[in-house]
């Protein structure tokens, strides 16, 4: 099977007396994939993208330019993604600042434990007494 597949070295055509430019065959050991149709499809189609792009490049075939509508949709989608990312970043900055402000209420030696509690368990409000009552409670979660 490997001899007929040109993955390792180029195939030679006796009929044309030359090496073939492309390997257009993909052999798959069917016994290994017969019960897994997704893997079978993946193995069979593994080389298609490279074969197609190689063919286009060898024959100087260029893709059609994107349509204006496609460009506009891409620009709108990118703008929305950027706006959402900006909004999420603002929230992260806001809550990060609130967390840092809350941690400053505690002595420095307690801050790592309080930070862990805030990040893993969470606290309903910025209440110093609430944290102090529950930080050593093993049943608090």
Listing DSSP states for the chain in one string gives: -TTT-TTSS--EETTTTEE-S--------HHHHTT-HHHHHHHHTTTHHHHHHHHHHHTTPPPPPPPHHHHHHHHHHHHHHHHHHHHHHHHHHHHHHHHHHHHTTS-TTTHHHHHHHHHHT--SS--HHHHHHHTT-TT--
* pLDDT, position 141: 56
Q: Work out the average pLDDT over 81-104.
A: 83
| Pick from 17-26, 56-65, 68-77, 109-118: least confident | 17-26
pLDDT at 46 over 60: yes
CB 33 within 8 A of CB 43: yes
pLDDT at 47 over 90: no
* pLDDT, position 101: 93
pLDDT at 64 over 70: yes
> pLDDT, tens digit, for every residue of 96-114?
888 899 999 999 999 999 9
Pairwise pLDDT comparison (25 vs 29), residue with the higher score: 29
Any idea where the domains of the chain sit in the sequence?
Answer: 12-58, 68-134
Distance in angstroms (rounded) separating the CA atoms of residues 74 and 65: 14
CB 20 within 8 A of CB 9: no
* pLDDT, position 4: 55
Give the predicted TM-score (pTM) of the model.
Answer: 0.36
């Amino acid at each position: 099977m490997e001899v007929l597949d040109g993955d390792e070295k180029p195939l030679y055509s006796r009929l044309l007396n030359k090496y073939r430019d492309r390997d257009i065959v993909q052999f798959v050991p069917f016994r290994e994939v017969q019960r897994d149709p997704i893997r079978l499809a993946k193995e069979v189609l593994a080389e298609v993208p490279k074969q197609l792009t190689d063919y286009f490049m060898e024959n100087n075939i260029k893709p059609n330019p994107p349509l204006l509508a496609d460009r506009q949709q891409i620009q709108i989608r990118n703008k929305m993604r950027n706006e959402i990312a900006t909004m999420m970043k603002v929230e992260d900055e806001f809550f990060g600042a609130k967390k840092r402000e809350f941690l400053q209420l505690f002595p420095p030696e307690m801050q790592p434990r309080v930070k862990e509690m805030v990040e893993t368990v969470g606290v309903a409000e910025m209440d110093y007494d609430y944290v102090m009552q529950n930080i050593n409670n093993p049943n608090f979660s």
